[in-house]
């Protein structure tokens, strides 16, 4: 191969790689009219009706309402799983007698790590705030489960044919039709308040300001991992209610900054390719010169 052919082929490959740059998209950030739910844990009575309503709406293994009146489940901490998108946990109340309750479910992050991790965009943040899962795209790699800082997505490990990643859907069909999510609808004590996230944040701070003795000054989900659609207020620090302590940056920003830094317009890979091609070509020319010199030596 002579030099011109070589450079031509190298150039063609470079252009091809640069064209693939179109795949580098920007991440979804907190949509302006994102909806959310404010969970006022100080109002929750631990009735577990939200669990029952969730199972009804999402066609999860349906059990009679009486099953959910069983308070024995509060003995241990439960986690959502493939058959239960939300669970209520009971925690000892600090500085007072009695207990407090907190429901656990997908918080629908503004900048979800699960969606950033997904290689086929099976998980995507919707303009209405929901982080939606599309089983038809999913490959079942479970990287979303590794990425989620709240350990929420669950998997149907027993399904051999079409296992799904399972988590709270934010009742996306209901909220798209103008209805309230199932759990919000049934809550008998208005512990769950549904509305625009921005307005819920204002409401949360108003409540904290109005009743400083009732609440700790922290809206969980306002800043955690870039903010979440679901927000919590509580009468005691959140770690005592089983919430993880998280920073303000979404893990998605860390990896995407690295990823986009290295692959920005494919400059780095193309530059590496060009450099290696140059080294290879210079070396082969040196070899040719040496071989030619050797041939001449033989002639003499």
Nearest 5°: the CA angle 121, 122, 128 is 90
For residue 237, the cross-strand partners are none
Segment contacting other proteins by CB under 8 A, of 51-59, 65-73, 150-158, 211-219? 150-158
Using CB under 8 A, count the residues that bind other proteins: 68
Binding mask 55-84 for other proteins (x = CB under 8 A): ----------------------x-x-xx--
In the complex, least distance from residue 146 CB atom to other proteins, rounded to whole angstroms: 6
Question: Of 179 and 256, which CB lies nearer to other proteins in the complex structure?
Answer: 256
CA distance 213 to 210: 9
In the complex, least distance from residue 66 CB atom to other proteins, rounded to whole angstroms: 27
Asked if 246 touches other proteins (CB under 8 A), the answer is: yes
The region, left, alpha or beta by phi > 0 then psi within -120 to 50, assigned to residue 48 is: left
* β strands within the chain, DSSP E: 35-40, 87-92, 99-104, 123-125, 131-133, 154-155, 165-166, 192-196, 230-233
Asked if 120 touches other proteins (CB under 8 A), the answer is: yes
How many CB atoms lie under 10 A from the CB of residue 244? 12
Q: Using CB under 8 A, which residues numbered 158 to 187 contact other proteins?
A: 158-160, 162-163
Segment contacting other proteins by CB under 8 A, of 39-47, 63-71, 149-157, 168-176? 149-157
Indicate the DSSP class of residue 50: H
Nearest 5°: the CA angle 40, 233, 237 is 130
Asked if 25 touches other proteins (CB under 8 A), the answer is: yes
Q: Is 59 helix (H, G, I), strand (E, B) or coil?
A: coil
Q: Report the interface residues with other proteins, using CB under 8 A.
A: 1, 5-6, 9-10, 13, 23-27, 77, 79, 81-82, 113, 116-121, 137-143, 145-147, 149-151, 153-160, 162-163, 242, 244, 246, 251-252, 254-256, 258-259, 262-263, 269, 272-273, 276-277, 279-280, 283-284, 286-287
């Amino acid at each position: 191969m002579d030099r011109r052919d070589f450079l031509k082929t190298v150039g063609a490959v470079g252009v091809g790689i640069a064209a693939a740059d179109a795949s580098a998209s920007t991440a979804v950030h907190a949509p302006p009219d994102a909806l959310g739910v404010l969970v006022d844990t100080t109002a929750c009575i631990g009735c577990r009706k939200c669990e029952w309503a969730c199972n009804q709406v999402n066609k999860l293994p349906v059990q009679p309402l009486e099953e959910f009146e069983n308070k024995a489940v509060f003995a241990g901490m439960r986690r959502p799983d493939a058959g239960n998108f939300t669970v209520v946990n009971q925690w000892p109340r600090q500085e007072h007698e009695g207990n407090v309750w907190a429901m656990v479910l997908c918080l629908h992050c503004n900048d979800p790590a699960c969606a950033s991790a997904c290689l086929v965009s099976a998980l995507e943040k919707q303009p209405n705030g929901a982080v939606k899962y599309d089983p038809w795209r999913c490959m079942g790699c479970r990287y979303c489960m590794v990425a989620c800082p709240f350990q929420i997505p669950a998997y149907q490990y027993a399904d051999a044919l079409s296992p799904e990643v399972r988590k709270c859907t934010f009742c996306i069909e209901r909220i798209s039709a103008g209805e309230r999510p199932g759990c919000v609808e049934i809550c008998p004590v208005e512990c769950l308040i549904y509305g625009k996230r921005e307005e819920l944040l204002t409401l949360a701070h108003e409540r904290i300001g109005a009743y400083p003795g009732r609440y700790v000054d922290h809206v969980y989900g306002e800043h955690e991992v870039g903010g979440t659609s679901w927000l919590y207020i509580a009468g005691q620090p959140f770690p005592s209610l089983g919430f993880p302590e998280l920073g303000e940056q979404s893990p998605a920003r860390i990896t995407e900054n690295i990823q986009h830094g290295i692959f920005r317009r494919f400059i780095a890979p193309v530059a590496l390719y060009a450099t290696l091609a140059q080294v290879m070509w210079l070396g082969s020319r040196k070899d040719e010169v040496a071989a030619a010199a050797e041939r001449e030596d033989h002639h003499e």
